[in-house]
Structure 1
């Protein structure tokens, strides 16, 4: 398996992990995971929002060999929080999260390696300021996997603390 395939496969595992949240009680689903933090539902909506951005903006841009654009984080994240609080059910939000991620993984798997690895800008920047690595779609997917894992860890910790 190529490194690209491994990265995309890791990214796709989030979809299966969501199944572990199906039996969460309603109170825990909407309760902030810590003071000043989001609820599990808001975190899931937040990840859906970014998956949708990758699908609708970033992948088409990469296909056209244009730079990748990302919106203002705070405003974009507020939209996700509002969506989670809109009255959408837990089962519907989880289904949407799985469907969106599965579609995103399918789209990524259909892109040729040259497109996945082509150096492109992210909001006009050529290299990651933290690692010095040139930006490419596959690099962004790896970053998003790390982002998912951060939030999964927060949720797992919250659920463990709830049961002790």
Structure 2
């Protein structure tokens, strides 16, 4: 697991956001499938997690405390509410880009020892799916995979709704 590559991959999301700048407002606000979020809600969801990493996780890791994540459902609901609060597409994209770029900057400034230090996550020491010990860089890799999942969803939705 190469920390520099993982952080660089995680940072690619900021550039990808630029591809959403010119999309139609109706698609921005339309659920990607019935019962699912819109693109705006997905972007707010990712930004909300970046903000949590910046304000809660990084300080905890720097202080050698365990990583804690809130209840996913209520946390994600806040992101959905923010996306539907009337915030413009350009403002949400700008805020999301700024959060990710700040997060990447801080990750790049962290010593390798801190990035790779084994720390429990919500009280669990190893990922139950892989058996790998949790560390900040492991969590960043998980978040990168999470980004890619949502990018695939959005790309598929846009391809299916392309009116050109």
TM-score interval, normalised by the smaller of the two chains: over 0.9
Q: Which residue of 2 aligns with 1:70?
A: 69
**How many residues are treated as equivalent by the alignment?**
163
Q: Distance in 1 between matches of 2:133 and 2:2?
A: 16
The Cα of 1:3 is off from its aligned counterpart by 1.2
What runs of 5+ residues in structure 2 fail to find an aligned partner? none
Deviations 1:91-117 (A, max 9, x none): 000000100000000000000000000
Q: Which residue of 1 aligns with 2:92?
A: 93
The Cα of 1:150 is off from its aligned counterpart by 0.1
Matches for 1:141-156 after TM superposition, within 5 Å: 141-156=140-155
Deviations 1:100-153 (A, max 9, x none): 000000000000000000000000000000000000000000000000000000
Q: Distance in 1 between matches of 2:126 and 2:2?
A: 20
Deviations 1:45-91 (A, max 9, x none): 00000000000000000000000000000000000000000000000
Q: Which residue of 2 aligns with 1:47?
A: 46
Structure 1 residue ranges, 4+ long, deviating more than 3 angstroms after superposition: none
The Cα of 1:30 is off from its aligned counterpart by 0.3
RMSD of aligned C-alpha atoms?
A: 0.9
TM-score between the two structures when normalised by the length of structure 2:
0.98
TM-score between the two structures when normalised by the length of structure 1:
0.98
The Cα of 1:31 is off from its aligned counterpart by 0.2
Q: Distance in 2 between matches of 1:17 and 1:163?
A: 18
Q: Distance in 1 between matches of 2:3 and 2:69?
A: 22
Q: Which residue of 1 aligns with 2:131?
A: 132
